[in-house]
């Protein structure tokens, strides 16, 4: 009898253990296998917020004990192709789209220098600066709405609309003669067209790459650098031969060819996130790391376009040969080709934020250590163009992968677009502020250069603080 009772107790205990195990198995698991976290992830599904700043929701793995894993990779790492024909064709399409859109953005210095001495010679530097400030503001600011639409609807009609806007913009610029003409054609139409193209071009890559996203994005972003080399040199050669109008029309034809390729190749792979919509969501700024990253990019972009817009004018004002003054912008953009490719590979190994911090520091050092002191020294101008071009190219190509590290790829467009809505305010005001500083200093560029340096210093502080919040003061931590 005692043996039977003992066996009965053992049977009940086994049944209880099996029942407990069954309940555990039925409970939905999060990516770390903890059923208690499932409710939290459900509440954040719509915005894509992954609780990256809450310590009990995410554990930062030690680089010394296991391979580094980015937040979204643990959820869907195996679903990313990380290569293959389709993925690399998307990169090619993004390259072609950025060659046109970012190529135009990297050519604003040539337009600024030409218009200031021809059609708009009677306008102040600050007034001319507003043309390009509004253009850059819209190029980035429209991402607030374009990003969520991309996440929900895909890239096709966005890129088609951008193609129409950008080509028509250049045709309109070729006919413009007055300040308000350029505001309508270059600033508004060109800015909206640029945003419609580059937001899907960047976002599509996140659908195909995770571990190699930095390298893939860097390769695509070199399109903007190549455009910044080719277009200024082409315009410099064409202006005296065929005039301003036909030079810009030729540019419009080149854009049309490049954007046809982008329309054919840019595609997405992942379905829209459940419950997502086409409206922006500012709740994502509740992620402190994302908020600091946004502030860092704001300050970087505040200073970035000042050298791009004024480097040729600076050289001309300091007695440098006119031809070489225009070529400086091409040298800067040539260096940024390497600045977009090399740091992308480095970032995938040493950490995206780590690499961004080094790139921002390089821009700060080259601005205050070289540009502030060189005057008309040709060798010094070349050194600044090479170093700043490399560092600033890294700033542009690493921003998307830093954002992608903080969110799921299905909502990347929303996060990236929302970030650049804030950043675009810096883009809007940076060039006009620099132009006003230049006017108040009676043509002396030192104040403009200090403004650029201080902007980069503030950006460096924000990115460094974001990194410290995530991994602490450990210099060897991969993040």
Residue 36 tokens, joined:
């208690």
pLDDT in tens, 386-443: 999 999 888 877 888 888 888 877 777 778 778 888 888 888 888 889 988 988 888 8
Average pLDDT, the chain: 80
What's the predicted TM-score (pTM) here? 0.68
User: What's the pLDDT score for residue 452?
Assistant: 95
Q: Which residues does 461 contact at the CB level (< 8 Å), separation at least 6?
A: 296
Q: Which residues does 108 contact at the CB level (< 8 Å), separation at least 6?
A: 132, 135, 136, 305, 308, 309
User: What's the pLDDT score for residue 272?
Assistant: 66
pLDDT in tens, 52-68: 443 333 333 333 333 34
User: What's the pLDDT score for residue 69?
Assistant: 41
Number of Cβ atoms within 10 Å of the Cβ of 80: 21
User: What's the pLDDT score for residue 180?
Assistant: 92
pLDDT in tens, 273-313: 655 555 667 788 889 999 999 999 999 989 988 998 888 88
Q: Which residues does 387 contact at the CB level (< 8 Å), separation at least 6?
A: 335, 362, 365, 366, 370
User: What's the pLDDT score for residue 262?
Assistant: 93
User: What's the pLDDT score for residue 423?
Assistant: 87
User: What's the pLDDT score for residue 353?
Assistant: 92
Work out the percent of the chain whose per-residue pLDDT is above 70: 82
Handedness of CA 275, 276, 279, 280 (dihedral sign): positive
Taking the CA of residue 357 as centre, how many other CA atoms within 13 Å lie in the half-sphere pointing to its CB?
17
Q: Which residue has the higher pLDDT, 208 or 234?
A: 234
Residue 226 pLDDT > 80, yes or no?
Answer: yes
User: Of 418, 161, 378, whose CA–CA distance to 280 is shortest?
Assistant: 418
Work out the percent of the chain whose per-residue pLDDT is above 90: 33
Taking each helix axis as running N to C, give the angle between helix 108-117 and helix 288-317, from 0 to 180 degrees, rounded to the nearest 10.
40
Q: Which residue has the higher pLDDT, 31 or 259?
A: 259
Residue 37 pLDDT > 70, yes or no?
Answer: no
Among 44-48, 164-168, 274-278, 396-400, the range scoring the smallest mean pLDDT is 44-48
The DSSP 8-state label assigned to residue 376 in this structure reads: T
User: What's the pLDDT score for residue 264?
Assistant: 93
User: What's the pLDDT score for residue 279?
Assistant: 64
User: Of 476, 435, 444, whose CA–CA distance to 116 is shortest?
Assistant: 435
pLDDT band at 363 (very low <50, low <70, confident <90, very high): very high
Q: First-to-last CA distance in the chain?
A: 65
User: What's the pLDDT score for residue 280?
Assistant: 63
The DSSP 8-state label assigned to residue 29 in this structure reads: P
Q: Are 251 and 231 in contact (CB under 8 A)?
A: yes
What length does the chain have? Answer: 479
pLDDT in tens, 110-160: 898 888 888 898 888 778 888 988 998 888 878 777 877 887 777 888 999
User: What's the pLDDT score for residue 375?
Assistant: 84
Q: Which residue has the higher pLDDT, 28 or 385?
A: 385
Q: Torsion angle, CA of 466/470/476/479, rounded to 10 degrees?
A: -80
pLDDT in tens, 187-206: 999 999 999 998 888 888 88
Residue 161 pLDDT > 60, yes or no?
Answer: yes
Residue 330 pLDDT > 90, yes or no?
Answer: no
User: What's the pLDDT score for residue 59?
Assistant: 38
User: What's the pLDDT score for residue 445?
Assistant: 92
User: What's the pLDDT score for residue 277?
Assistant: 58
């Amino acid at each position: 009898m005692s043996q039977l009772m003992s066996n009965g107790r053992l049977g009940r205990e086994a049944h209880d253990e099996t029942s407990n195990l069954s309940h555990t198995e039925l409970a939905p698991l999060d990516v770390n296998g903890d059923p208690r976290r499932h409710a939290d992830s459900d509440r954040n599904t719509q915005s894509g917020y992954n609780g990256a700043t809450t310590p009990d929701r995410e554990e930062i793995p030690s680089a010394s004990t296991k391979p580094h894993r980015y937040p979204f990779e643990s959820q869907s790492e195996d679903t990313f192709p990380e290569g293959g024909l389709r993925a690399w064709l998307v990169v090619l399409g993004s390259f072609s789209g950025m060659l046109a859109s970012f190529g135009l953005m990297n050519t604003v210095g040539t337009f600024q220098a030409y218009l200031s001495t021809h059609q708009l010679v009677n306008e102040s530097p600050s007034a001319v600066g507003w043309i390009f400030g509004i253009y850059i503001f819209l190029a980035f600011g429209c991402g607030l709405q374009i990003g969520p639409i991309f996440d929900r609807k895909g890239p096709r009609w966005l890129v088609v609309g951008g193609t129409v806007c950008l080509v028509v913009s250049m045709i309109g610029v070729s006919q413009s003669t007055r300040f308000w003409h350029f505001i309508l054609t270059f600033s508004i139409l060109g800015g909206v067209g640029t945003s419609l193209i580059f937001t899907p071009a960047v976002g599509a890559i996140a659908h195909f790459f995770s571990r190699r996203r930095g390298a893939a994005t860097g390769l695509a972003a070199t399109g903007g650098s190549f455009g910044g080399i080719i277009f200024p040199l082409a315009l410099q050669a064409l202006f005296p031969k065929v005039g301003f109008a036909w030079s810009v029309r030729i540019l419009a034809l080149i854009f049309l060819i490049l954007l046809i390729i982008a329309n054919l190749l840019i595609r997405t792979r992942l379905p829209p996130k459940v419950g997502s919509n086409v409206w922006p969501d500012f709740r994502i700024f509740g992620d402190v790391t994302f908020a600091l990253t946004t502030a860092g990019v704001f300050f970087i972009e505040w200073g970035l376009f000042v050298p791009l817009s004024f480097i040729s004018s600076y050289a001309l004002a300091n007695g440098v040969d006119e031809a070489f003054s225009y070529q400086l912008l091409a040298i800067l953009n040539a260096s940024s080709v390497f600045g977009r490719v090399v740091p992308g590979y480095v970032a995938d190994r040493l950490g995206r934020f780590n690499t961004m911090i080094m790139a921002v520091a390089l821009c700060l050092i080259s601005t205050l250590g070289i540009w502030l002191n060189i005057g008309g020294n040709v060798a010094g101008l070349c050194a600044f163009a090479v170093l700043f071009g490399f560092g600033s190219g890294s700033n542009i190509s690493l921003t998307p992968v830093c954002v992608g590290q903080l969110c799921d790829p299905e909502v990347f467009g929303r996060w990236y677009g929302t970030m650049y809505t804030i950043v675009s305010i810096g883009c809007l005001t940076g060039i006009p502020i620099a132009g006003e500083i230049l006017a108040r200093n009676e043509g002396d560029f030192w104040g403009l250069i200090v403004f650029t340096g201080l902007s980069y210093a503030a950006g460096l502080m924000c990115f460094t603080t974001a990194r410290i919040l995530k991994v602490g003061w450990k210099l060897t931590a991969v993040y």
